[in-house]
Structures are given as structure tokens and as C-alpha cells.
Amino acid sequence: MLAYIIRRLLWSVVLLLVVSLVIFLIFFILPTADPAELRAGRNPDPELVAAIEAQLGLNRPFYVQYFFFIRDIVTEFNFGRSYQNNVDVREEIFSRIPATASLALGAAFVWLVIGLLIGILSAVKRGTILDRLAMGAALVGISAPVYWLGLVSIYLFSNDIGRFPIFEPPGTYVAITEDPTQWLKSLLLPWLVLATAFAAVYARFMRSNLLEVMGEDYIRTGRAKGLKERAVVFRHGVRAAITPIVTIFGLDLGILLGGAILTESVFNIPGIGRTAFDAISKGDIPIVQGTVIIGATAIILLNLIVDIVYAFIDPRVRY
């Protein structure tokens, strides 16, 4: 098990190197605004631009730039400085992690509870009105884009412009360390919106998994033992049906921890996704690179955690 984890960690490093190289290549090849010009201010004279290019190393060959980029990350954990406002990329991104984590973890909790409960109910009551309504709603939830749902929900429920002022409006996020009550209130609506599509996917997935499991021989054994149906469903059925969900949950959470770009933008939450979005629109390549690498790290780590957890929830899996 330990050998497996070490091997996986080493592979993760390789994977991150590949990701960083691809990202670097993309921004090197793609025509973006010249960073040196961005730095130089309005109507710069060419000498100044050249000087800044030299200072940033932009006049060096591609592979030299990449080498310095990686060297700085490995030796100093330094992602460089923003072309836009010269802030330290690492500090900029790390200061955004709590907001993104608050959004992602809270939403994950909501969608797991709602999605799994609906999925289980639908499977147990298969073919009933309840099942059809739930699955119909799930289809709507999957089909509604999160930015649209976000805007509609703000219009309906935000207590500044909303018809039914229930939730805090966008842009009211504060860190949990500052004001926990306000933190909770400001995140309720984003959680619900972000969780909707996921809850719908999880409900459908849970339903189909559970239906399949309930047809297994060991479920019949459970009934033949004289177990109550509730115990058959939860202790034997859900226990087996939930394992594949752990896999997709890890992936989804990893992706969101790398930044929920749409939700953060719609609700004006200062997270990694918003930062990435702003950086992309301004051509601030160091920040974009930093967010991509942080995002990739989150996905790779969550993936590893899922695989480790899997060995504990499914005794047949051994590494």
C-alpha cells in the first residue's frame, strides 16, 4: 500500500510536469498581448519594452524560460509575479483558496445529501410518481447551465434585486474567520446553485447503481435472512451502490477545488476560479499558469485519495 502511494505520488509529479509544459507551450505559442507591453504602461518606447523583456527573461528561448519557471517552483515554490500588478502569484492564489474551498466543500455536502437521498428514494420507489417527478427534475437540473441558473436565482431570491428576497446578494462573501454567520449566509445561494446540477447527476447515478445492486444475488440473501427491507436497502444495497460514486465524487471535488469559474464569477466570490477568469481576460499568464497548476494538483491529489479510499471501502481492491 505504501509502495503504491509512493509510486502514485511520483507519477503525479511527472503528470504535473507534463501539465505545466503543455500550459507553458500554449501560452508561448498562442498570440496573447505582449507581457512586456502590459508592464510598460501607455505608449511605451521600444527600449523600455525591450528592457522589460530582458528583465522578465522573455527574450530567452522557450526551453530556457520553461527551465527557470520550473526551477523557481521546485526550489522556491515561486510561481512568479503577475504581469498585471506585480503581485506574487503564489500569495495571490493561496489567498483565494479559502473562498473556493468554502464554495466547493459546502456545495459538495449539499449535493451529496440531496442527490444520494433522491437517488435512493427513486430506486426504492421505482416507477412511482415520486420516481418520475424526481428523475424529471433531475433532467432539468442537468440541463440548466450553472451561469443561467445562477442569474435566475439571483433575480428571484437575492435580497437586493430578488422577487423573493431570501438570500444574500452576490459580492457579500467574507472569510469564515472574519464573520462566520455572514460567510454562511452569503454562500447559501451559491451552494444551492452549484449543487443543483451535481445533485441531479448524482441522483440519477445513485438510482441506476442501486437498481442494479438490488437485483444482485446477495440482496436476495439479505432478504432470505429475514432482514428488514430498510436494512436490505441501506446496509446491503446502498453500501455496494455507493462505491462507484466515491470515484466520481473525488474527481468532481478536485475539479471544483481548482476553481469553480462560473459560479464564482456569477456570485462574485473571490476564489481561484474568479482569479483565473480575470487573469485570462487580461492575458496575465503567470497567474493563469499558477491556477492551472494548482487546479491540476487538486485533481491529481483527489484522484489519489479516491484510489486509496477505495481500497478501504471495497475489500476486493488491493494494491
By C-beta, is 160 or 229 nearer to another protein? 229
By C-beta, is 71 or 235 nearer to another protein? 235
Q: Give CA–CA dist 149/155, Å, rounded.
A: 10
By C-beta, is 6 or 317 nearer to another protein? 317
CB of 264 to another protein, least distance (A): 38
CB of 205 to another protein, least distance (A): 19
By C-beta, is 132 or 220 nearer to another protein? 220
Burial class (CB in 10 A: 0-12, 13-18, 19+), 56: middle
Rg (CA), the chain: 24
CB of 252 to another protein, least distance (A): 23
CB of 230 to another protein, least distance (A): 11
Q: Give CA–CA dist 232/227, Å, rounded.
A: 6
CB of 304 to another protein, least distance (A): 22
Q: Are 174 and 287 in contact (CB under 8 A)?
A: no
Residues that bind another protein (CB under 8 A): 216-218, 220-229, 236, 239-240, 243, 313-316
By C-beta, is 122 or 186 nearer to another protein? 122
CB of 137 to another protein, least distance (A): 24
By C-beta, is 61 or 127 nearer to another protein? 127
By C-beta, is 97 or 219 nearer to another protein? 219
Residue 83 amino acid letter: Y
CB of 218 to another protein, least distance (A): 4
Q: Are 284 and 84 in contact (CB under 8 A)?
A: yes
